């Protein structure tokens, strides 16, 4: 029996060697990393979750994702449970309870952490990442690590990732980038796109439209005091353009975008030029300035480009400069 296993593993080894040769000997073998295409993946169904202890926590996580404002928003009756600072829902961005491909889905995210994050300059856990959105997208405060709410978000994310191996390479995760027009965002065009395509739902004033009952929104605000703060991912032009092009107006998917790359870029610049809550101490983000995304609208920067250009582009000249600075820093080491 031992012999047989040995023979089998020798055979496997030679297959692997052949494969490596066919791949030009590239270090990582495709066969080693599971590849999951979220655009062809059927996420689990919340109605099939049971009432055991784990199931209850998953269901609470689902409620927190989809009805955040009424669960932990700034207007809930118990002051101790007012964790978010605005009345958005996680689902307003992580569409369809975090299942929509290219709308920053949570499907498979369980197996992607811990991971290095440039914003914090250290390896972060999934809890850190959730609290990142709590403090920025939700303009609120961090959830206590041992509390029921954090456990519920974790249980929900684990359940939403059912069947996806840890560390799998995901297609459909995050958001799909737009092709940059190689100029600064044209705010006049952005304003026009907004008026023509977005204002019917999000309002001429950008403040959205409340849902009939409760504190949440039928159409969430895009700026103003109840929106995400200036430290949020969505406050970066390229992140917002990526989300908007492939998910807005409501009902749009990555497969059939409505806006052109240029219109998405311009309207993202327009939205993020409006007033929104300001987060304190943002200068502490990205302790390694060379890792700061080029479209981060707040300094300090490794380069000398203006905050205005970091906010509205064009970004390629910044990228080129940062690359040069990174090469210099590496040479000095
Ligand atoms: C205003 C939009 C918005 C809201 C609301 C929001 N997020 Fe996010 N979230 C993002 C964006 C954009 C990213 C990814 C880009 C980034 O931040 O760099 C992200 C990333 C994440 C990630 C990491 C996903 C990955 O692929 O690694 C998690 C987990 C997450 N959010 C959880 C939450 C939770 C939980 C809530 C509600 C408490 C929430 N988010 C609310 C916009 C939002
Ligand atoms: C038909 C109505 C409708 C139109 C038109 C529309 N949106 Fe939205 N938008 C929504 C809804 C509803 C959500 C929240 C999705 C959810 O909770 O399922 C949303 C979410 C968003 C979000 C993330 C949440 C937030 O509040 O920041 C952004 C950004 C956004 N829309 C931008 C736009 C832009 C830009 C346009 C125009 C190009 C646009 N939308 C057009 C209905 C619309």
121-171 pLDDT per residue, tens: 999 999 999 999 999 999 999 999 999 999 999 999 999 999 999 999 999
Give the CA diameter of the chain: 75
Q: Does 290 score more than 70 pLDDT?
A: yes
Ligand 2 atom with least separation from CA of 193:
38
> Which ligand is closest in space to the CA of residue 219?
2
Binding pocket residue ranges, ligand 2, CB within 6 Å: 88-89, 91-93, 95, 197-198, 200-202, 219-222, 228, 234, 240, 243-244, 248-250, 259, 267, 271
Domain 40-171 annotated CATH 3.40.50.12280: no
Average pLDDT over residues 294-317: 98
Do the two domains 40-171 and 176-327 of this chain adopt the same fold?
Answer: yes
**What is the Å distance from ligand 2's center to 140 Cα?**
21
Share of the chain above pLDDT 70, in %: 91
Instruction: Find the 218 Cα to ligand 2 centroid distance in Å.
Output: 10
Is there a contact between 322 and 154 (Cβ–Cβ < 8 Å)? no
Which of the ligands is closest to the CA of residue 233?
1
Residues 6+ apart with CB under 8 A from 297: 230, 235, 236, 237, 272, 307, 310, 311
> Using CB atoms within 10 A of its CB, is residue 294 exposed (0-12), middle (13-18) or buried (19+)?
buried
- Give 181's contacts (C-beta < 8 A, 6+ positions apart): 261, 262, 265, 314
Q: 332 CB contacts (<8 Å, ≥6 apart)?
A: none
Residue in 95, 122, 136, 106 with CA at minimum distance from that of residue 233: 136
Residue 31: predicted pLDDT: 62
Q: Check residues 306 and 5 and name the one with the higher pLDDT.
A: 306
Angstrom CA distances, 228 to 85, 96, 278, stand at: 9, 19, 9
Determine if ligand 1 sits within 6 Å of the CB of residue 88. yes
Q: Which fold has domain 176-327?
A: Cytochrome Bc1 Complex; Chain D, domain 2 (1.10.760)
Backbone angles phi, psi at 173, to 5 degrees: -80, 165
Query: What confidence score (pLDDT) does residue 142 get?
Result: 98
Q: What phi, psi does 296 have (nearest 5°)? A: -75, 125
Helix (H) or strand (E) segment spanning residue 53: helix 53-66
- Predicted confidence (pLDDT) at residue 4 exceeds the cutoff of 70: no
Task: State the pLDDT at residue 187.
Answer: 98
Percent of the chain topping pLDDT 90: 89
What is the distance, to the nearest Å, from the Cα of residue 44 to the centroid of all Cα atoms in its chain? 20
**Residue ranges in 109-193 assigned as alpha helix (H):** 126-135, 148-160, 187-193
Average pLDDT, the chain: 92
| pLDDT tens-digit map of 9-59 | 333 333 333 343 344 434 445 568 999 999 999 999 999 999 999 999 999
d(CA 285, ligand 1 centre) in Å: 17
**pLDDT over 50 at 6, yes or no:** no
For atom 20 of ligand 2, which residue has the closest CA?
92
Ligand nearest to the CA of 292: 1
Per-residue pLDDT, averaged over 276-291, amounts to 97
User: pLDDT tens digits, residue range 94-107?
Assistant: 999 999 999 999 99
Q: How many CA atoms lie within 13 A of 22 on its CB side?
A: 9
Taking the domains of the chain in order of start, what are their residue ranges? 40-171, 176-327
In the prediction, which pLDDT does 32 show?
80
């Amino acid at each position: 029996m031992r012999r047989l296993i040995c023979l089998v593993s020798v055979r496997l080894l030679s297959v692997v060697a052949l494969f490596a040769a066919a791949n030009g000997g590239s270090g990582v073998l495709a066969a080693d990393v599971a590849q999951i295409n979220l655009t062809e993946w059927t996420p689990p169904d919340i109605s099939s979750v049971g009432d055991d202890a784990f199931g209850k926590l998953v269901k609470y996580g689902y409620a927190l994702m989809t009805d955040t404002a009424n669960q932990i928003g700034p207007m809930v009756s118990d002051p101790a449970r007012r964790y978010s600072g605005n009345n958005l829902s996680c689902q307003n961005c992580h569409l369809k309870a975090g299942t929509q491909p290219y709308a920053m889905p949570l499907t498979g995210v369980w197996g992607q952490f811990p991971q290095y994050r440039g914003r914090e300059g250290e390896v972060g856990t999934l809890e850190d990442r959730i609290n990142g959105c709590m403090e920025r997208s939700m303009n609120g405060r961090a959830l206590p690590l041992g509390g029921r709410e954090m456990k519920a978000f974790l249980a929900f994310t684990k359940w939403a990732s059912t069947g996806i191996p840890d560390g799998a390479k995901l297609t459909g995760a995050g958001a799909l980038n737009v092709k940059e027009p190689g100029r600064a965002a044209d705010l006049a065009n952005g304003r026009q796109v907004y008026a023509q395509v977005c204002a019917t739902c999000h309002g001429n004033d950008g403040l959205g439209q409340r849902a009939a009952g409760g504190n949440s929104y039928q159409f969430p605000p895009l700026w103003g005091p109840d929106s995400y703060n200036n430290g949020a991912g969505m406050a970066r032009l390229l992140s917002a353009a990526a989300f908007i092009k492939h998910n807005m107006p409501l009902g749009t998917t990555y497969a059939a975008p409505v806006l052109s790359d240029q219109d998405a870029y311009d309207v993202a610049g327009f939205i993020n030029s409006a007033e929104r809550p300001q987060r304190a101490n943002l200068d502490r983000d990205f302790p390694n300035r060379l890792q700061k995304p080029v479209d981060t609208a707040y300094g300090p920067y490794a380069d000398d480009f203006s905050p205005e250009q970091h906010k509205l582009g064009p970004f390629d000249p910044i990228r080129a400069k940062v690359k040069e600075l990174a090469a210099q820093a590496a040479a000095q080491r």
